[in-house]
Chains A and B, each alone.
Chain A
């Protein structure tokens, strides 16, 4: 039965975004309205229509993991492995990297991402030898000399669930687990399913969240022309403007958001700092042909209703919604319609904002970032604003927090995530009693 028995709390938060490393730095920048968006600089983005994003040029994974642990990880997996370290340290749970024990069979690991392959640079370089004079690929030559041509660790590094392996191996995590692939829905479903696992007793602790190297050239080859990103490169930090009349699409951001979830009584016994209770999870789907969203956002409305029901709350109890804010014309409008449907009479009075114009869309990590922001909003009693929302679009009418953060001490919050195929997830978080 939902809500009965074991309760689940958020006792650790690990955040890596273009705004900074660690949840303190991120929160400070979010509330101050800073932006991590800028021209993509890790490579020449000239072939792309969208050449802005939230990059982390100073990120150095060796601050969080050993070189040996980083031997078979791509950028996205190194962000996940590093965010796990941040989350565990923040939770104050002793772990192997700190001289402690393995986390063992009672700790679960639930991740969501959008990984496709390992590092491409060496592969592309090595494959040059199979190019025939006419430019075609000589597969037989590759097959005969594969042991010399293929970078030895490329395939192993490319395992989609590689971060699950790397984190479990680093911290001796042997408990329940799965890995979801998708957009923002992936990391949010990971948190939701992890919460349920702790609630039903499959695990006592779980690390859960999402991550993505969304600004990499390889990710951008896939994201660039889907019609979901803005091409207003001239606008710089002001290009990504959810719910604004002049919105024209989102921007990618790289990063990771991992939470430590813990059974409440165990967390209380060890004197853990509790940011929030995770009280509800709901998922839904639009059943449309991708990448089109249902104009009514019915999958999202369903997810929100189910999440509130799971948390045994009414819409009127909500003090904050960390929204998806894809920044596309139809995405934002359908999101607002879905929220008005799901919240009913409470819709005009629930503060709504999204961190995405400041961090970029973390894609596989976008929903998990929203969950972290909702937990921090409950913890700090402050609701951050949506950046760049200068002229709200009446079609997206909601109680948008804009201009400056509001100190409203919300008691309950919902974090939203939507996927490219119409997936929707809503996580309900509550201020600890």
Chain B
């Protein structure tokens, strides 16, 4: 029998709050964090909105002694969230032997500077050589790496256990939390910081996600209505940004130190669509596999799941294929499920989005309330499930499923449950 893994701390820096409590509060209130995109000059862009983190200064939150050099925007969100999660859990570098603590984070590599690309082009024109280029400064090369922020997190704990850097785009923090769960189950660590950080509000991503038709272009004048998962008038996702980090601990160790246990991680399943780079199969096949694998891994039946935190991006294709998958896995029980998407309020936190969904699930389990999917104005009749439209719902949640899907066809299912001492289901 595997060791049990519990969640004992949460930290978050998101478009709706600069810490986990304020993020949860906003989600329950149905408050949108989407607004004008300010990280780039949007003149000429078809898309001018995003869910941005507001007024966050890492150096006001985290002591400089941790070592905060080379952190770019996404890394500051991740490091801030990790610091909060550790304080929430009451963990520091003396809680366990450093060798028993590790880090698993989903993130994305940095984007090239547009001016640099133009400068290389100019150099090529000037020299007449089409292979001329300009090297990066060493600091730039370090900043480019996605794992610099994870290294800062390890320093907070003086952790010399596993360090996993996952890069599966929009499912990355789902994989990271899942692999951290396995690492503790299998005896590789007693504690793992797990989650993700991302900020794809860059010139490249806003432009190219837009060119692919993945972002909504119809709500530039009404940003808070742009992200509308499962609504009939949905027309694409809204980019968000942020960092969400959880403290995962082996149950007996957590109990021995008297930790406050927020939830238990029960199941993890992954799959591949092997279909198309940017679309999911309309029959929901890959998602069905990851959902079923995670529920089976938890030792549960679909009917045991009370709440699904949907990937729910607000693209026509994802929401249809995800709903199809849910209907196929849950059958008649799908009617009883409550399903909601925090992306309706935050936009899509990409590599950090699955960790945000876990925060949402943990909140629901502990507070008996399920945050809504906002902007549900015209139900999409083809979907027809309970997406908790517009206002939060009181609901006893014992088991929640988190879905995460990504470009490239990587799927993740995670099942978390209320912590029960006897682990009845296991």
Interface residues of chain A, those whose CB is within 8 Å of chain B, are 2, 43-44, 47-48, 72, 102, 105, 109, 115-117, 120-121, 123-125, 127-128, 130-131, 135-137, 139-144, 146-147, 150, 152, 154-156, 159-162, 164-165, 168-169, 171-182, 185-186, 189, 193, 196, 200, 202, 217-218, 220-227, 281-291, 298-299, 302, 306, 310, 419-423
Contacts and interface: CB of A to CB of B under 8 A. Distances in A.
A139 B114 CA distance: 8
Interface of B: 40-46, 67, 69-70, 98-99, 102-103, 107-110, 112, 114-115, 117-122, 124-125, 129-138, 140-142, 144-148, 150-151, 154-155, 157-169, 175, 178-179, 182-183, 186-188, 203-204, 207-212, 269-278, 285-286, 289, 293, 406-410
B201 to A, nearest CB: 14
B160 A287 contact: yes
Contacts of A131: 118, 121-122
A152 B406 CA distance: 20
A155 B272 contact: no
Contact of A283 (B41, B124, B188, B408): B188
B141 A226 contact: yes
Contacts of B285: 174
Given A137-B118, A144-B44, A299 B160 contact: yes
Nearest to A128: B121
Contact of A179 (B132, B166, B186): B166
A43 B131 contact: yes
A127 B118 contact: yes
Contacts of A174: 271-274, 285-286, 289
B146 A287 contact: no
Given A181-B167, A189-B164, A283-B164, A225 B269 contact: no
B211 A165 contact: no
Select the residue from B136, B138, B167, B277 with max chain A CB neighbours within 10 A. B167
Select the residue from B118, B148, B160 with max chain A CB neighbours within 10 A. B160
Contacts of A124: 117, 120-121, 124
B182 A225 contact: no
A4 B212 CA distance: 48
26 contacts: A2-B186, A43-B133, A47-B134, A48-B135, A115-B109, A135-B118, A142-B203, A155-B211, A161-B169, A169-B275, A173-B272, A175-B271, A176-B269, A176-B293, A177-B271, A177-B272, A181-B167, A182-B145, A193-B182, A224-B141, A225-B138, A226-B142, A285-B103, A287-B157, A289-B151, A421-B145
A84 to B, nearest CB: 13
Given A164-B410, A302-B160, A420 B121 contact: no
Given A176-B270, A222-B141, 7 more contacts: A131-B122, A142-B203, A164-B408, A174-B274, A186-B165, A218-B133, A290-B142
A258 B131 CA distance: 30
Nearest to A218: B133
Given A164-B408, A283-B102, A143 B118 contact: no
A102 B285 CA distance: 15
Contacts of A224: 135, 141
Contacts of B115: 136-137
Contact of A220 (B130, B135, B204, B278): B135
A56 to B, nearest CB: 17
Contacts of B118: 127-128, 130-131, 135-137
A136 B114 CA distance: 9
B185 to A, nearest CB: 9
B166 A180 contact: yes
Given A178-B168, A181-B146, A165 B163 contact: no
Contacts of A127: 114, 117-118, 121
Nearest to B41: A139
Contacts of A123: 117
B125 to A, nearest CB: 7
Contacts of A290: 70, 142, 145, 148, 151
Contacts of A162: 277, 408
Given A172-B274, A287-B98, A44 B132 contact: yes
A162 B272 CA distance: 12
A227 B138 CA distance: 8
A122 B74 CA distance: 28
B136 A222 contact: yes
A394 B289 CA distance: 54
B164 A180 contact: yes
B155 A287 contact: yes
Contacts of A130: 118
A141 B132 CA distance: 25
A139 B39 CA distance: 13
A289 B149 CA distance: 11
Nearest to B210: A146
A287 B182 CA distance: 22
B180 to A, nearest CB: 11
Contacts of B286: 174
A285 B169 contact: no
A155 B212 contact: yes
A422 to B, nearest CB: 6
B119 A422 contact: no
A156 B278 contact: yes
B44 A141 contact: yes
A92 B159 CA distance: 42
A222 B67 CA distance: 22
Contacts of B67: 289
Which 9 pairs of residues, A with B, have the shortest CB-CB distance? A143-B44, A155-B208, A181-B167, A283-B162, A140-B44, A43-B131, A165-B408, A285-B163, A421-B151
Nearest to A289: B67
Contacts of B150: 421
Nearest to A125: B121
Given A116-B109, A174-B286, A177-B272, A139 B43 contact: yes
Contact of A225 (B141, B168, B175, B277): B141
Contacts of A180: 164-167
Select the residue from B124, B141, B187, B203 with max chain A CB neighbours within 10 A. B141
Contacts of B129: 44
A179 B410 contact: yes
Contact of A109 (B110, B210, B272, B293): B272
B133 A150 contact: no
Nearest to A227: B138
B34 to A, nearest CB: 20
A423 B121 contact: no
Nearest to B275: A169
Contact of B161 (A155, A193, A302): A302
A358 to B, nearest CB: 25
A181 B109 contact: yes
A147 B133 CA distance: 25
A144 B45 CA distance: 6
A193 B211 contact: no
Contacts of B41: 139-140
Given A121-B130, A221-B136, A289-B67, A176 B271 contact: yes
B147 A182 contact: yes
Contacts of A423: 147, 163, 165
A227 B67 CA distance: 20
Nearest to B137: A225
Contacts of A218: 133
